[in-house]
Amino acid sequence: MDQLYRPCSLGSVIDAAGRPSCSGTHSVGLTLVPNPTPDELELQRRALAVLTELAPAAIELGAMFRAAGHELSLVGGPVRDAFLGRASNDLDFATSATPDQTLALLSAWGDAHWDIGKAFGTIGAKRFGGRAGRAEGDVVVEVTTYRSDAYDHVTRKPVVAFGDSLEGDLSRRDFTVNAMAVRVPDLVFVDPHGGLGDLAGRILRTPIEPERSFDDDPLRMMRAARFAAQLGFTVEDATFQAAQGMADRIEIVSAERVRDELDKLLLSGNPRAGLEVLVASGLADHVLPELPALRLEIDEHHRHKDVYEHTLTVLEQAIDLETGPEGAVPAPDLVLRLAALLHDVGKPATRRFEAGGGVSFHHHEVVGAKQTAKRLKALRYDKETIKAVSRLVELHLRFHGYGDGAWTDSAVRRYVTDAGPLLERLHRLTRADCTTRNRRKARRLSEAYDDLERRIERLRGEEELARIRPDLDGQQIMEILGIGPGPVVGQAYRFLMELRMDRGSIGEDASREELLAWWAARS
């Protein structure tokens, strides 16, 4: 509640005890009462610095709402992130004002506004930075009328019901760390559910009973996994147990919403932590069953890896190989991360125990590519993503065998051509797929791939591999053979393409002779 915090100056300086001294014109409730822990004091220091930057726009907007007789509070992620020392120019507010009243106020405050979320009580606005003496950058705000949602427990769709208090609005949030607020313009911190303590302890806990929270909105279970990945937090025991017991409820959530949460998880700084929550809670059994299926029983002779752990390691190593913004695969790259996560999903279906105790997974890359496409389609990914990820899964073993015998230039050309625009991602996926603890073997594989990349660069410089084409085009083929458009032209083109791969560019005259010989053999 508000009385947990005493007002103090926004522009104040933290004293030696970690408390801000009270001087200035705008008050902010950041002094913890009673007996703040060292971790809470550190969070307080960070929040003071961030809120100082957010304050001008927030205070002005708060003053406008107050003058009109309404409450306004900064809520959710921006408040949580302020305590984590992260500033954002995208601000979420909750208000006692109706959507129409909010729209009128934001129209006067911002340079642009929108009401696409009006049915749910949300109005948005943007103020451009650098205008009329404004020091801050662009500021985007979304203001939502206090909510007190009820849910259709069959479809999970909320029945919109507006509430009458900030505390009631905060109680409907997913986790306590997202159920904190700062009232504006006074900047008084409100924390009715102990979110700051949970933030200091890096714990995810629901504001109300987790069973009730997850029953209202099962997607919150997916968010727990996502926040574990994004923030490095641990899911509190009772909350985790509720997710375990209610995992099947996630099936009433639309595939698109599940996909969006999975994307945010995978694009976070530590996807492994979130994926482990998905698997351990049983949620993955319903949204990504191919992942827990990788937990194959290791044979008694330990002749193959734990595929599940191997997969998580490959994902981490692939992430490490992503590049900066100007590089070939700028981080975070969703296609590469999905391919790393799914590259071995064909193994359970293809596992065979061989004579002598060996284990094989023949053609698991082909089976896995089909499974990958099926799963991504079920999750409503777009066609381009499905095509790219499944192709990488199909190609991820192509390199193996390169070190055992010299590839011809033809084989290198085929490798590059088959990968097409995915080549740089394939480089990284192939390198990441080496998780052996045998240093000698790992070094040998790395050196072999170094050699392959050097050969690709040499041939690329000589032949412009990315644009490999036969020496004769379709029009020339028809003129030489005296035929019109039709399937035979395509067959002839493919013959010349194979010739180009095997022998490189041999010129138009030699290609003409080869084409005529092929045509004569057909006749």
| Region of poorest pLDDT, from 35-49, 111-125, 185-199 | 35-49
Query: Residue 438 pLDDT more than 90?
Result: no
Q: How many Å apart are CA 19 and CA 14, to the nearest integer? A: 5
Q: Looking at mean pLDDT, say which of 45-59, 175-189, 223-237, 471-485 comes out highest.
A: 223-237
Does 65 or 12 have the greater pLDDT score?
65
Give the chain's radius of gyration (CA, Å).
30
Mean pLDDT value across residues 459-485: 78
Cα 144 to chain centroid distance, Å, stands at 26
Mean pLDDT value across residues 285-314: 80
| Region of poorest pLDDT, from 153-157, 220-224, 228-232, 310-314 | 153-157
Does 44 or 9 have the greater pLDDT score?
44
pLDDT of residue 282: 97
Q: What are the strands, taking DSSP E only, across 112-180?
A: 112-114, 122-127, 139-145, 150-151, 158-159
Amino acid sitting at position 105: L
pLDDT of residue 40: 73
Tokens of 52: 């100082």
Token look-up 């304050």 returns 55
Mean pLDDT value across residues 195-200: 91
Does 496 or 262 have the greater pLDDT score?
262
Token look-up 């060292």 returns 38
* Helical axes 423-432 vs 307-320, angle rounded to 10°: 130
SS3 content of the chain, % helix, strand, coil (to 5): 55, 10, 35
Mean pLDDT value across residues 432-445: 85
pLDDT of residue 98: 94
Does 220 or 296 have the greater pLDDT score?
220
Mean pLDDT value across residues 410-423: 88
- Its sign, for the CA torsion 87, 270, 349, 425, is positive
Q: How many Å apart are CA 472 and CA 515, to the nearest integer? A: 9
Q: How many Å apart are CA 323 and CA 74, to the nearest integer? A: 35
Q: What is the DSSP string of 64-125?
A: HHHHTT--EEEESHHHHHHHTT---SEEEEEESS-HHHHHHHHHHH-SEEE-TTGGGTEEEE
Other beta carbons within 10 Å of 255: 14
pLDDT of residue 13: 34
pLDDT of residue 179: 95
Tokens of 329: 């695969």
Does 303 or 505 have the greater pLDDT score?
505
Closest to 226 in 3D by CA, of 189, 174, 184, 190: 174
Q: How many Å apart are CA 36 and CA 15, to the nearest integer? A: 14
pLDDT of residue 519: 86
Mean pLDDT value across residues 136-154: 78
Question: Which of the four pLDDT bands, split at 50, 70 and 90, describes residue 159?
Answer: low
pLDDT of residue 206: 97
Q: How many Å apart are CA 287 and CA 250, to the nearest integer? A: 8
Query: Residue 134 pLDDT more than 80?
Result: no
Question: Percent of the chain having pLDDT more than 90?
Answer: 47
- Do the bridges between strand 5-9 and strand 90-95 make them parallel or antiparallel, or are there none, so unpaired? unpaired
Averaged confidence pLDDT in the chain: 84
Mean pLDDT value across residues 76-88: 86
Query: Residue 377 pLDDT more than 80?
Result: yes
Mean pLDDT value across residues 472-485: 87
Query: Residue 83 pLDDT more than 80?
Result: yes
Question: Which of the four pLDDT bands, split at 50, 70 and 90, describes residue 131?
Answer: low
Q: Give the residues across from 124 on adjacent strands.
A: 114, 142
Q: How many Å apart are CA 328 and CA 305, to the nearest integer? A: 31
Query: Residue 303 pLDDT more than 60?
Result: no
Q: How many Å apart are CA 5 and CA 8, to the nearest integer? A: 9
Query: Residue 466 pLDDT more than 60?
Result: no
**Using CB atoms within 10 A of its CB, is residue 353 exposed (0-12), middle (13-18) or buried (19+)?**
exposed
The answer to whether 378 touches 255, Cβ cutoff 8 Å, is yes
pLDDT of residue 6: 36
Query: Residue 205 pLDDT more than 70?
Result: yes
DSSP 8-state assignment for residue 321: T
Half-sphere exposure of 416 (CA within 13 A, CB side): 24
Does 370 or 149 have the greater pLDDT score?
370
Other beta carbons within 10 Å of 509: 9
